Amino acid sequence: MPSDMDKLKEFLRVNKSIKYIRIQWIDYSGVLRARFVPIARCLRIANGSETIRLAQNSIIIPISTAPRIFSLSDYHETWLLRPDWSSLRVCGFQTGHAAAMSFVDQKDAETRLDKCPRMLLVQALERLDKERGVKVLVGFEIEFVLLDGNGSNDVIKPLDRLNGYSRTAGLRAESLALVEEIIDALEQSSISIHHFHAEVQDQLEIALTPEPALQAVDSLVLAQETIRAICVRRNLKATMTPKPTLPGPSNSLHLHLSLVDIDVERVSADHFIAGVLDHVGSLCAFGMANYDGCARSIGDAAGAWVGFGTDNRDLPVRKICDWHWEFSMMNGTANPYLFAAAVLLAALDGLAKKTELVWKDCKLFPHLMNEEMRVEYGINNSMPVTFKEALDCLKEDAVVNAWIAKDLLEWYISVKEKEVEVFKKMTDEQRRLRFLEYF
pLDDT at 127 over 70: yes
If asked whether residues 103 and 239 sit together in one domain, one would say no
Structure confidence at residue 295 (pLDDT): 74
Q: What is the mean pLDDT of residues 263-271?
A: 88
User: How many other C-beta atoms are found inside a 10 Å radius of the C-beta of residue 160?
Assistant: 14
Confidence of residue 299 (pLDDT cuts 50, 70, 90): low
**Helix 336-353 to helix 280-287 angle, to the nearest 10 degrees?**
170
pLDDT at 206 over 70: yes
What's the whole-model pTM score? 0.94
Q: What is the mean pLDDT of residues 215-221?
A: 98
If asked whether residues 326 and 235 sit together in one domain, one would say yes
pLDDT at 428 over 80: yes
Most confident of 208-222, 303-317, 392-406: 208-222
Share of the chain above pLDDT 90, in %: 66
Which is nearest to 388 in space by CA: 265, 275, 297, 258?
297
If asked whether residues 240 and 103 sit together in one domain, one would say no
pLDDT at 204 over 70: yes
Which is nearest to 397 in space by CA: 345, 356, 331?
345
Quote the DSSP letter at residue 305.
B
Angstrom distance (rounded) from CA 19 to CA 218: 21
pLDDT at 187 over 70: yes
If asked whether residues 309 and 359 sit together in one domain, one would say yes
Confidence of residue 178 (pLDDT cuts 50, 70, 90): very high
If asked whether residues 268 and 365 sit together in one domain, one would say yes
Confidence of residue 162 (pLDDT cuts 50, 70, 90): confident
Is 323 inside any structural domain? yes
Confidence of residue 409 (pLDDT cuts 50, 70, 90): very high
Q: Is 86 exposed, middle or buried (0-12, 13-18, 19+ CB in 10 A)?
A: middle
Quote the DSSP letter at residue 209.
P
If asked whether residues 196 and 260 sit together in one domain, one would say yes
What is the number of structural domains in the chain? 2
User: For the chain, how many residues are written?
Assistant: 439
Angstrom distance (rounded) from CA 29 to CA 331: 12
Distance from the Cα of residue 410 to its chain's centroid? 20
pLDDT digits (tens, 9 = 90+) for 61-115: 888 877 776 666 666 678 899 999 999 999 999 999 999 999 998 877 777 788 8
CATH number reported for the structural domain that contains residue 98 in this entry: 3.10.20.70
If asked whether residues 145 and 277 sit together in one domain, one would say yes
Which is nearest to 277 in space by CA: 250, 311, 303, 251?
303
pLDDT at 168 over 90: no
Angstrom distance (rounded) from CA 321 to CA 303: 19
pLDDT at 50 over 70: yes
Structure confidence at residue 219 (pLDDT): 98
**Helix 336-353 to helix 213-233 angle, to the nearest 10 degrees?**
160
Q: What is the mean pLDDT of residues 258-264?
A: 88
If asked whether residues 213 and 183 sit together in one domain, one would say yes
CATH number reported for the structural domain that contains residue 249 in this entry: 3.30.590.10
Residues forming beta bridges with residue 276, ordered by sequence position: none
Q: Which domain holds residue 183?
A: 126-437
For 138, the enclosing helix (H) or strand (E) is strand 135-148
Separation in Å, CA 355 to CA 277, 349, 359: 10, 8, 11
Which residue type does 270 have? D
- Integer Rg of the chain from CA: 21
**Helix 280-287 to helix 387-396 angle, to the nearest 10 degrees?**
120
Which is nearest to 26 in space by CA: 61, 50, 2, 51?
61
- Rounded to 5°, the CA angle 64-66-72 comes to 85
pLDDT at 298 over 80: no
Which is nearest to 306 in space by CA: 356, 227, 243, 377?
377
> Backbone phi, then psi, for 366, in 5-degree steps?
-55, -35
Is 117 inside any structural domain? no
If asked whether residues 400 and 290 sit together in one domain, one would say yes
- E strands present in 161-281: 193-198, 203-208, 211-212, 236-239, 253-260
